C-alpha cells in the first residue's frame, strides 16, 4: 500500500520541481562603472525682469511658478509725476492748437489781401512765419507728450523670455528704482549639473550615458547623456552638464540621484531564471561531474529584467545549470 502511494506521489513531486535544461559558463563582461552622485536641476537661462522707470508698484499680474510668454506684463509701475506732466502738456497742446488755428486764419487773410494789393509782401511773410513757428511748436509739444506716454507704457514690467517665473519680489505699493530686478524667469529646457571628485575627471567622456533615479518610490527612471564637461575644477570637483529626457517638471535647484559612468569594470551576469530562493537564501545550481550543487549567491538587479549581476558566490569559468 505504501509503495503504491509513493509511486503515485512521485509524478506530482517531479512536476513541482523546475525542469533544468542546460548549462552556461559564467564569464566576465566589461561594463561602465556607474557612480552614484547627486545632480542639481538647472535652467539654461535665468533672466531678470527689470523695471524701466522708477515709481510705485500698482499692479501685480502673476505669481511664482506661472508660465509666461515673452512680452507678458508681470507687474505695472506708476509714477504720479508722469501723469502731471501729461496733463500739463495736454493743456499746452490745446493752447497751441488754438494759436495755430488763429495763425492759419491770419495767414489766409494776409494771402487774400496780398492778391488784392491791400497789404505788403513783408506783412504776408510775417504772418507765414508766425504760422510756421506755431506749427513747429505744436509738433515739438506733441513729441514731448509722446515721450511721456512712452515712459508711462514703460511702467509695464515685461517678461523678457518664455519660461517659468521663479521669483517675484514686489507687492503693490512697493517703491522701485529704474533698472531694479523684480522677477526672475527660467527660460529654456532644464538640465542636470553634476559635480564629481576630481579623481574621476580623466574618466568622464562627452556623450556618456547617465541614469536618473526615480523621484519617488516606484516612479520611472530617466536616461540622459553628458553634453558638457567644464575644464576648470571647482573646489576639487569636476563639473559636467547632462541632458535628461522629461525633467521639465522638476524644480529649478532640485537635487536628484544620478548614476554617471566613471570608467569601466568587470562583472558577472547570469539569467534571472537560474536563481532559486529557499528560506530567504538565493541559490544557483553549479554543474559538477557528480551532479549539480546548490551554491548560495548574492546578486543585484540590472536594467535588463531578465539578467542579474552576481556580487559573490560565483567566479568566471563556473558552469551553472539553467532551466
- Three-state SS for 103? helix
247 close to 281: Cβ distance less than 8 angstroms: no
Of 154, 105, 146, whose CA–CA distance to 128 is shortest?
A: 105
Buried b / exposed e along 73-104 (16+ C-beta atoms within 10 A): ebbbbebeebeebbeebeebeeebeebbeebe
- Reported as a single tens digit per residue, the pLDDT across 205-250 is 889 899 998 888 888 889 999 999 999 988 889 999 999 988 888 8
In a domain, 64, yes or no: no
Q: What percent of the chain has pLDDT over 70?
A: 93
CATH number at residue 233: 2.40.30.170
Of 237, 168, 228, whose CA–CA distance to 200 is shortest?
A: 237
**How does the average pLDDT of the chain come out, rounded?**
86
Using the 3D structure, point to which of 227, 243, 263 is the last residue of a domain. Answer: 263
In a domain, 52, yes or no: no
In a domain, 293, yes or no: yes
pTM of the model: 0.62
- Whole domain around residue 148: which residue ranges? 80-154
Of 181, 180, 179, 186, whose CA–CA distance to 161 is shortest?
A: 186
Q: Dihedral sign, CA of 105, 111, 116, 120?
A: positive
> Do 254 and 280 lie in a common domain?
no
In a domain, 125, yes or no: yes
Angle at the Cα of 97 (from 96 to 103), degrees rounded to 5?
85
Using the 3D structure, point to which of 216, 238, 263 is the last residue of a domain. Answer: 263
In a domain, 73, yes or no: no
Domain count, the chain: 3
Residue 202, Cβ density class (10 Å: 0-12 exposed, 13-18 middle, ≥19 buried): exposed
- Reported as a single tens digit per residue, the pLDDT across 131-181 is 899 999 999 999 999 998 988 888 899 999 999 999 998 889 899 999 999
Amino acid at each position: 500500500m505504501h509503495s503504491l502511494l509513493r509511486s503515485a506521489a512521485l509524478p506530482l513531486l517531479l512536476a513541482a520541481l523546475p525542469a533544468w535544461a542546460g548549462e552556461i559558463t559564467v564569464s566576465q563582461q566589461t561594463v561602465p562603472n556607474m557612480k552614484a552622485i547627486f545632480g542639481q536641476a538647472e535652467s539654461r537661462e535665468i533672466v531678470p525682469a527689470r523695471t524701466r522707470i522708477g515709481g510705485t508698484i500698482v499692479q501685480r499680474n502673476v505669481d511664482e511658478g506661472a508660465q509666461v510668454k515673452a512680452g507678458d506684463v508681470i507687474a505695472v509701475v506708476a509714477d504720479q509725476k508722469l501723469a502731471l506732466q501729461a496733463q500739463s502738456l495736454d493743456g499746452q497742446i490745446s493752447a497751441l492748437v488754438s494759436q495755430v488755428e488763429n495763425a492759419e486764419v491770419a495767414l489766409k487773410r494776409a494771402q487774400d489781401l496780398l492778391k488784392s494789393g491791400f497789404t505788403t509782401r513783408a506783412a504776408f511773410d510775417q504772418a507765414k512765419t508766425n504760422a510756421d513757428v506755431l506749427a513747429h511748436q505744436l509738433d515739438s509739444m506733441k513729441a514731448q507728450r509722446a515721450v511721456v506716454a512712452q515712459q508711462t507704457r514703460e511702467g509695464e514690467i515685461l517678461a523678457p523670455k518664455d519660461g517659468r517665473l521663479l521669483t517675484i519680489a514686489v507687492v503693490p505699493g512697493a517703491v522701485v528704482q529704474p533698472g531694479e530686478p523684480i522677477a526672475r524667469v527660467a527660460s529654456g529646457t532644464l538640465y542636470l549639473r553634476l559635480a564629481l571628485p576630481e579623481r574621476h575627471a580623466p574618466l568622464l567622456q562627452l556623450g556618456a550615458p547617465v541614469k536618473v533615479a526615480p523621484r519617488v518610490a516606484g516612479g520611472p527612471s530617466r536616461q540622459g547623456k553628458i553634453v558638457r564637461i567644464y575644464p576648470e575644477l571647482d573646489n576639487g570637483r569636476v563639473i559636467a552638464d547632462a541632458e535628461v529626457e522629461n525633467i521639465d517638471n522638476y524644480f529649478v535647484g532640485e537635487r536628484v540621484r544620478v548614476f554617471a559612468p566613471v570608467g569601466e569594470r568587470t562583472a558577472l551576469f547570469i539569467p534571472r531564471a537560474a536563481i532559486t530562493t529557499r528560506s530567504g537564501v538565493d541559490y544557483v545550481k553549479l554543474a559538477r561531474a557528480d551532479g549539480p550543487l546548490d551554491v548560495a549567491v548574492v546578486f543585484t538587479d540590472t536594467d535588463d529584467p531578465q539578467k542579474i549581476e552576481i556580487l559573490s558566490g560565483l567566479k568566471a569559468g563556473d558552469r551553472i545549470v539553467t532551466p
